[in-house]
Structure 1
Amino acid sequence: MARYICEPCGWIYDETVGDPEHGLPAGTLFEDIPEDWECPDCGIDKEFFTRLPD
């Protein structure tokens, strides 16, 4: 499982945790997140997230 950071605001998406408040259960891979999903903190598109080193 990987973690991804929103470059503009620093919010981290952790695949082990998911984003249950926005319909992404724990274990949801970043690549499986719908393209129209947005950062819960700043609303930026998924394309502005970068994978963090393991």
Structure 2
Amino acid sequence: MMKYVCDACGWEYDEEAGSPENGIAPGTKFEDLPEDFECPLCGVGKEFFSAQ
């Protein structure tokens, strides 16, 4: 499983942990997040995230 970091604010999405507080179950791959997913901290879209 991978981690993705928001290039704008540094918020990290960990596929293994998911983001339950934002309605994303553990084990959810970044590519499976909805196309309209936005960073919960700064609101930018998936295109502003980089794989780590």
Q: Scaled by the length of structure 2, what TM-score is found?
A: 0.94
Q: CA deviation at 1:23?
A: 1.5
- 1:1-54 to structure 2, matched below 5 A, reads 1-52=1-52
Over 2 Å off, 4+ runs: none
What is the RMSD of the two structures over their aligned residues, measured on CA atoms? Answer: 0.6
Structure 2 unaligned regions, length at least 5: none
Distance in 1 between the 2:44 and 2:9 partners? Answer: 9
Aligned length: 52
What does the per-residue CA deviation read over 1:1-54, in whole Å, with 9 as the maximum and x for residues that have no partner? 0000000100100001111122110000000000111001111111100000xx
